[in-house]
Amino acid sequence: MEFEYWWLLVFPLFFALGWLAARVDIRQVVTESRALPNSYFRGLNFLLNEQPDKAIEAFLEVVKLEPETIDLHFALGGLFRRRGELDRAIRMHENLLEREGLAEEQRLRAMAELGQDYLKAGLLDRAEQVFGKLLETSRHGLARTYLLEIYVQEKDWQKAIDAARVLEKDTSKPLNADIAHFHCELALLEAARGNADAAADHLKQSLAANRQSVRANMMAGDLDAAAGRHEAAIADWRLVETQSAVHMALVVDRVLASYRQLGRLAEGVQWLRALYGRQPSPDLFNALYLAVSETEGAAAASQLAREELRRNPSLRTLDRLLEAELVNAPPEARELLQVEKNLVASHSQRMMRYQCGSCGFKAAQFFWRCPACGRWDSFDPERREGEG
pLDDT digits (tens, 9 = 90+) for 46-61: 544 556 666 556 555 5
Fold (topology level) of 12-86+109-126 = 1.25.40
DSSP, res 354: E
- Mean pLDDT across the stretch 242-251? 94
Which residues make up each annotated binding site for Fe cation? 356, 359, 370, 373
Distance CA 135, CA 141 (A): 8
Considering only 112-116, 128-132, 302-306, which range has the smallest mean pLDDT? 302-306
Asked if the model's pLDDT at residue 27 lies above 60, the reply is no
Which residues make up each annotated binding site? 356, 359, 370, 373
- Mean pLDDT across the stretch 210-234? 97
Distance CA 32, CA 45 (A): 18
Q: Where are the domains of the chain?
A: 12-86+109-126, 158-211, 264-347
Distance CA 199, CA 224 (A): 11
Using an 8 Å Cβ cutoff, are 227 and 235 in contact? no
Residue range 285-324, pLDDT digits in tens? 889 988 998 999 888 888 888 888 778 777 666 766 666 6
Contacts 24+ apart (CB under 8 A), 134-141: 134/108, 137/108, 138/105, 138/108, 139/108, 139/109, 139/111, 139/112, 140/170, 141/167, 141/170, 141/171
pLDDT level of residue 155 (50, 70, 90 thresholds): very high
Using an 8 Å Cβ cutoff, are 177 and 376 in contact? yes
Distance CA 210, CA 325 (A): 46
Asked if the model's pLDDT at residue 370 lies above 90, the reply is yes
Q: What percent of the chain has pLDDT over 70?
A: 72
Alpha-carbon separation of residue 271 from 162, 289, 343 (angstroms): 41, 13, 33
pLDDT computed for residue 218 by the predictor: 97
